[in-house]
Amino acid sequence: MNAFSTSIAWRLTLARACAWALLVAGWVGIGSLALLFAPSIEFAVAMVAFWLLGLGAAASFATRGGMRRVTRALALGLVAALTGCSLWSTVNGGGLAMLLLALVGWAALTALASGVVRSLRLMQSAPPSPPVAAATLGALSAGLVLGDPGDAGGLAVRLAIFVLAVAIVLVKLQARIEARPRAPGCRAGLFDCSLPAWPAGAWRDPLQWPMLLAGLAMLPLMAALPLMAAWCSARGIAPQVLVLLHLAAMFGPALLLQTWITRWSLSTLATVCGALLAVGAACAAWCPAPIDLLGLSLTHGAAWSLAWSGQLWAPARRGRQGSSPLRAAAGYALLTLAFGFLVEQVGARGVAAVHIALGLGAVVAGLLVLVGPGVRAAMARRHADR
């Protein structure tokens, strides 16, 4: 590998880490501030859903290609300044209106980061390896920046400094990017296939249900994390510890087990993900507080981690390459709205109910996989007897 290729490789890794840090810090940070300033939990979760939708829409535009380096650099600087000022104003009298402006700016900034990742990936002559290490680094950075999500003043200042610093890094990383890509594009999901969508029709195969359900677990986990931090804080668990544990569960297994995951069959991955979902559902149903929330956070976070990593290492499971992120973002936003409505009605029991449903879905999938071949064989014999 020559010096140029090495330079592009480490720039791509750092850009991926920045993009993931923006995603995680924005998802939890915006949700935490919304919880403090919105009139209700449902409204706060709706703001997160709007952020997800805005992120998908902005990413659809920012990753199309053709954006000049100077244009993207100016956009990164202006959007980061707007977002940082809005975050500061939120806790200094601006309130909900400034938070909405910060929400829009953060979505655009994350989409621009996705565009930088795409541009750097296209500079390489061969497809790079999955971004597990870069995503883990980004999530760890986000967790350190988030700190105590309940400290509105400190959180807003940390997030404002964070977006400005990340924008500067991204501007530096995209220097000397060529206008013409050397490799075919890939726009399925965010960060140029780093967060891909599953193939169309995957739900028709029960063997894939555990991974699909584990993928969906990210939505309630991230949406409920600010709430879980407050609930666990009331029971003596530091919010910073919960946030870091949660992010470690979401990215640690993918990083530590990636050598084994690359060799796992689809059935092995499904079994492990299904078992983790079932254990998490059991924790949510029968363990006392706060073990119930901690248990489901760790097990369902690990299930998502393995499903995500297994998908990255298997190109056939990535869905249609070239699809827009907006479609997936719209689905995520609708599911997040439904989750917010449920939690508004029944509180922590709504969080538990969602994760119990995911665990039951994994159990049903396992039964269908076990019983399915026998049922098909019996039907075939009955048809032969006729």
Based on the fold, state whether residues 309 and 230 are members of the same structural domain.
yes
- Can you give the pLDDT at residue 66? 63
The helix/strand/coil state of 71 is helix
Based on the fold, state whether residues 14 and 150 are members of the same structural domain.
yes
Residues 174-198 have a mean pLDDT of 56
- Can you give the pLDDT at residue 120? 85
Looking at the DSSP bridge assignments, the partners of residue 195 are 190
- Can you give the pLDDT at residue 188? 45
pTM above 0.75, yes or no: yes
Domain count, the chain: 2
Q: What pLDDT band is residue 97 in, cutting at 50, 70 and 90?
A: very high
Q: Decide if 141 is inside a domain.
A: yes
Given 277, 292, 325, which residue is the final one in a domain? 325
pLDDT of 381 over the 90 cut = no
Phi-psi region of 149 (alpha: psi -120 to 50; beta: other; left: phi over 0): alpha
User: Percentage of residues in the chain with pLDDT exceeding 90?
Assistant: 44
| Whole-number Å distance between alpha carbons of 180 and 315 | 24
By mean pLDDT, which of 79-93, 146-160, 294-308, 314-328 is the weakest? Answer: 314-328
Based on the fold, state whether residues 141 and 225 are members of the same structural domain.
no
Based on the fold, state whether residues 90 and 186 are members of the same structural domain.
yes
pLDDT of 218 over the 80 cut = yes
59 neighbors 114 (Cβ within 8 angstroms): yes
- Can you give the pLDDT at residue 335? 87
Q: Decide if 331 is inside a domain.
A: no
Based on the fold, state whether residues 80 and 120 are members of the same structural domain.
yes
Longest Cα–Cα distance of the chain, Å, equals 79
Nearest to 189 by CA among 43, 311, 279: 311
Based on the fold, state whether residues 246 and 142 are members of the same structural domain.
no
Q: What is the DSSP letter of 94?
A: I
Q: Decide if 240 is inside a domain.
A: yes
Based on the fold, state whether residues 235 and 381 are members of the same structural domain.
yes
Based on the fold, state whether residues 215 and 313 are members of the same structural domain.
yes
Q: What pLDDT band is residue 183 in, cutting at 50, 70 and 90?
A: very low
**Domain with 208 in it:** 198-317+347-386
Q: Decide if 341 is inside a domain.
A: no
Nearest to 193 by CA among 48, 28, 311: 311
Angstrom distances, CA of residue 235 to CA of 60, 295, 299, 348? 42, 15, 20, 14
Residues 351-360 have a mean pLDDT of 93
- Can you give the pLDDT at residue 263? 86
